[in-house]
Structure 1
Amino acid sequence: MADTTEKTVVTPEELDALEVRLDEVEQYLHLDEKRGRVAELERESAAPGFWDDGDRARALMAELSAARDDVHSVENARTALDDARTALEFAAETEGAEANEFATEATASARALERAVDELELSSWFTGEFDHGDAILTIKPGQGGLEAQDWTFMLFKMYMKYCARRGWKVTVNDCPAAEVIGIDRATITVEGKDAFGMLRAEAGVHRLVRISPTDAKKRRQTTFAGVEVIPVLPDDIDIEIGPDDIRVDVYHASGPGGQGVNTTDSAVRVTHLPTGIVVTCQNERSQIQNKAACMQILKARLYELELEKRAEQLDEIRGPKTEIGFGNQIRSYVLYPYQMVKDLRTGVETGNVDAVLEEGDLDPFIIGYHRWVTGNADA
């Protein structure tokens, strides 16, 4: 038989360890109960009059979709495990090139299984009230002047790429161009499975070190931007906002680089007078749609503010409030004199800065953060 015991080839012991992890995830998900719930919801959704109550129907369909995803994810992982074991057995029973092919197939199935189990484990660690729901992410420039506005735009593009990689839907609520370079700020709403749970790893100060693109002497510059992540509140959480408590202003919308979005006063700025919170949205061409988006974000921020007043759990929602500057960063992105992205909380790092900034490859950092914060860093 040909030698197929290279380090890159999966071993039976590795498959056994993956099976143990998969068993633990399946227990956490209560998969048998979830299968029953899927069957129940499918029957209910097919019943006459199901859509008579639109809000309830949409909520149940969302529950059905999430339950199906969990069931299918585990079943697909089980299939990958079976495929890997079968291919590894064939590799042991054959010789030459055929044995190598089976060993390669076993390893590929095992690696796919490992990625699937990583995702399932990560989701199982999300125990917060809003972790499995949607998120509102805001990026603001910090210390660094014009450079910080450009850094804010770079982060905005990075998060857009990351959301696309994960198949999440993104709505750009606000992203006004700065006068010289970059953007003044950006606010996006992210819709997708575990969006808030995943993205809350990004809340904090992000530091960039590079040669300044605006300095004629090409000196090294350090700049900062802050990322805020808050949950999109479910419809059953009611935040009362009196009509006299807000001021609504409208103005012309514009996008990054100064291009006009339209020629009407469609952009909306909502100011909550009692707290001074200001929310702006200019993504939609309708004032009504932009105001609705503003109110959704405002309610989420008021909910967060209420938590801050009466609970000590603010860090779980937004992360600690710190100055967006030196000494407070959660992650450093160094482009000069060497290239490295390093998370200062977990120690996760990479020298491939283009993969992070240009391609949105953030999973190693986000998964590393959640392993660290849940005490599963050695998992």
Structure 2
Amino acid sequence: MIIDKFLFKKIEVLKKRFYELSFLIIKPEIIHDKKKSVKLSKEYKIIYKIINYYNSYKENKKYLKEIESLIKLDSDKELLEFAIFEKKKNLLELEFLLNKIESLLKKNNNTKNNNTKNNNTKNNNTKNVLMELRAGTGGDEACIFVENIFRMYTMYFKELCWKYEILNMQQGTIKGYKEIIIEIQGKNVYGTLKFESGVHRVQRVPSTESQGRLHTSAITVAILPEEDYNNNLLINIVLSDLKRETFRASGAGGQHVNKTESAIRLTHIPTGIIAECQEERSQHKNYEKAMKVLRARIYQSELKIKNEKLSKERKSLISTGDRSAKIRTYNYPQGRVTDHRINKSIYYLDKFMNGKINEMITALKILEKENN
């Protein structure tokens, strides 16, 4: 289950911190610093409780599997009734333990020293990301441009030896794609791609245009940093806050398509944020991928709120995340690509569309350094 994977990752981080604190709190310089000693001791006690509750949670999960196996195999009526009763009791215990863990995780986050306030951007720069490409105005031409931009980015990823995985694709009516969501892993991915968020506009004569008229279409790009298991923006998704829907996949996929309801749509009720996936034949795998997208979108939403507070102190000239802002124009007749935020034009559009985008990204990075 996703919740188990999330807890495992978080507990592994906390275990390392627990061992670190075990040595810190007995150091003479810490003992003599009363303020620091109290603070570290408090954190130590909270993490100790979290680890103990998590160990109990794992034991209960193991017992639940044994009970479920017994229910499937045993035909004895009395034993079956006992097993069903034990299962209900076990599920209540698991719910209690999860609530305790979530409560303590929040408490632990609140006790952390918030000295990383000015380092949020730097920390985010090292993260992997989810990239969302969506067709905007322009109908079929916008869908085709989504495919073009997807190819451009993947060729750039190969140059940097980054790995990527397609999480979801929705085909256009005729050609191209309405939406593509990919997960990208590598070195300093977010720090490199964060300025790509926004509206990418294309000006060209579509192949379907008989009179040779120039058309303007647009797509949106969103770069979502992966959730950070070490900071105080950790997203706790309660399963009762999720609305889960299944539907039949569409697009390529042979006999599987439209015959099984393997596609998943998840709605986070408190925020209204939606994520869906139909790439896999397995409903379970689609659920995992949809959950990954959902967590990233919720995290991005929380991060945006936090960054808006920080921007009152330090205003950046470059947008990093507003998908409504027009950031770049790809003009095919002129062979030109222009970034409107820095008024920079490059006149080798063909090479740019083949993944040679580093000059533009470098220019944006330089301006960010100058502003900071």
TM-score by length of 1: 0.59
Structure 1 runs of 4+ with >6 Å offset: 314-318
Tell me how large the CA RMSD over aligned residues is: 3.2
Deviation track 1:243-289 (CA, whole Å, cap 9, x = no partner) reads 2221222233345xx45494443322111122221111233332222
How far apart are 1:129 and its partner, in Å? 2.1
- Per the alignment, residue 319 of structure 1 pairs with 320
- Aligned residues between the structures: 253
Give, as a single letter, the amino acid of the residue that structure 1 aligns with 2:320: G
Instruction: Point out where structure 1 has 5 or more consecutive residues left out of the alignment.
Output: 1-52, 61-124
2:195–2:319: 8 Å Cα contact kept in structure 1?
no
How far apart are 1:346 and its partner, in Å? 2.6
- Per the alignment, residue 360 of structure 2 pairs with 365
- Per the alignment, residue 273 of structure 1 pairs with 269
1:253–1:261: 8 Å Cα contact kept in structure 2?
no
- Per the alignment, residue 212 of structure 2 pairs with 218
Asked if 1:151 is matched to 2:152, the reply is no
- Per the alignment, residue 5 of structure 1 pairs with none
2:162–2:185: 8 Å Cα contact kept in structure 1?
yes
Deviation track 1:43-88 (CA, whole Å, cap 9, x = no partner) reads xxxxxxxxxx99849x99xxxxxxxxxxxxxxxxxxxxxxxxxxxx
- Per the alignment, residue 183 of structure 1 pairs with 177
- Per the alignment, residue 332 of structure 2 pairs with 335
Q: Distance in 2 between matches of 1:271 and 1:54?
A: 24
Percent identity of equivalent pairs? 29
Give, as a single letter, the amino acid of the residue that structure 1 aligns with 2:235: I
Which aligned pairs between 1:205-244 and structure 2 lie closer than 5 A? 205-236=199-230, 238-244=234-240
Q: Secondary structure of 1:374's partner? A: helix
1:174–1:188: 8 Å Cα contact kept in structure 2?
yes
Q: Give the alignment partner of residue 133 of structure 1, picking from 127, 130, 134.
A: 127
Q: Distance in 1 between matches of 2:180 and 2:336?
A: 25
- Per the alignment, residue 344 of structure 1 pairs with 340
Instruction: Point out where structure 2 has 5 or more consecutive residues left out of the alignment.
Output: 1-8, 17-118
Q: Distance in 2 between matches of 1:266 and 1:318?
A: 37
Q: Secondary structure of 1:212's partner? A: coil
TM-score by length of 2: 0.60
Distance 1:372 1:360, change over 3 A: same
Q: Give the alignment partner of residue 193 of structure 1, picking from 187, 194, 209.
A: 187
Q: Distance in 2 between matches of 1:310 and 1:350?
A: 34
Q: Distance in 2 between matches of 1:308 and 1:376?
A: 19
Give, as a single letter, the amino acid of the residue that structure 2 aligns with 1:172: I
Q: Distance in 2 between matches of 1:126 and 1:364?
A: 25
